[in-house]
């Protein structure tokens, strides 16, 4: 089951929102419902402390019988964390995260850690926004990259040094070490529709930057 989490960070682009068509459920975090109010995408549920949900969204939710799950404003989790738990309650096996970049560095990093937790729980998870698709890939996993020829590929080791094998890229190789404190995997180019990343050890953050006028998701 593919569940979308729409967070109240930066507003997803029209192309981003098209990805919701392929999702089985949409969980909105608080004020993110204001974005969907302007589209034809109806959330399955709205969760959060509702400190940023406006009156027009309340009326819209009520008219469509969209459940609203209100949580205390004084809490030790983010609305995004509540959305993740709801997605798991719904039986998610795959998660798409939109609106998670935001304007604050701290919130972006917190949301990135949230995506990592989803990954570590064994769920497929991509975070999309600002022309980028991000996902974590761990030891023993391979990530195919069809249809991305010409796009920029960035790989960053996360927990410690990582060992990866790359094919179909401008800079490719087998059992290449990416250092935890280095940037060796940044600004590579995808040169083939058969490109793939295989992680031999460690965990890497894979960021694909879209070419202009193209859209895809990892």
The pLDDT assigned to 49 comes to: 82
pLDDT for the residue numbered 211: 60
Strands (E), the chain: 2-6, 25-29, 45-48, 68-70, 94-98, 124-129, 132-138, 142-144, 152-157, 162-167, 173-178, 188-189, 196-201, 203-209
Predicted local distance difference test score (pLDDT) of residue 212: 53
The CATH number assigned to the domain holding 42 equals 3.40.50.10240
User: Which residue, 45, 40, 72, is CA-closest to 61?
Assistant: 45
Question: Residue 187: what pLDDT?
Answer: 94
Specify if 216 maps to a domain: no
Same domain, 111 and 177: no
User: Do 23 and 118 sit in the same domain of this protein?
Assistant: yes
pLDDT at 72: 79
Q: What was the pLDDT predicted at 214?
A: 46
pLDDT of residue 32: 87
pLDDT on residue 5 = 97
Q: Which residue range forms the structural domain that includes residue 24? A: 2-130
CATH number of the structural domain spanning residue 151: 2.60.120.320
Q: Is 217 among the domain residues?
A: no
| Nearest C-alpha neighbor of 80 from the set 163, 181, 9, 168 | 9
Q: What is the pLDDT of residue 48?
A: 87
| Domain boundary, last residue among 108, 130, 152 | 130
The parts of the chain modelled with pLDDT lower than 70 are 211-218
């Amino acid at each position: 089951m593919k569940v979308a989490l729409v967070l109240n960070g930066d507003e997803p682009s029209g192309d981003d929102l098209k990805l919701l068509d392929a999702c089985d459920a949409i969980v909105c975090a608080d004020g993110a419902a204001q974005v969907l109010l302007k589209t034809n995408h109806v959330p399955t549920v709205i969760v959060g402390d509702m400190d940023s949900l406006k009156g027009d969204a309340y009326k819209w939710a009520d008219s469509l019988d969209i459940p609203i799950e209100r949580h205390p404003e004084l809490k030790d989790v983010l609305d995004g964390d509540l959305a993740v738990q709801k997605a798991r309650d719904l039986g998610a096996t795959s998660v798409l995260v939109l609106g998670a970049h935001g304007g604050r560095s701290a919130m972006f990093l917190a949301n990135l850690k949230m995506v990592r937790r989803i990954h570590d729980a064994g769920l497929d998870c991509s975070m999309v926004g600002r022309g980028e698709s991000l996902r974590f890939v761990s030891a023993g996993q391979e990530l195919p990259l069809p249809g991305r020829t010409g796009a920029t590929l960035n790989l960053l080791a996360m927990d410690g040094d990582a060992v990866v094998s790359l094919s179909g890229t401008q800079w490719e190789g087998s059992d290449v070490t990416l250092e935890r404190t280095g940037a060796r995997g940044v600004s590579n180019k995808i040169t083939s529709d058969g490109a793939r990343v295989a992680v031999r050890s460690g965990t890497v953050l894979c960021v694909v930057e879209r070419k202009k006028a193209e859209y895809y998701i990892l």
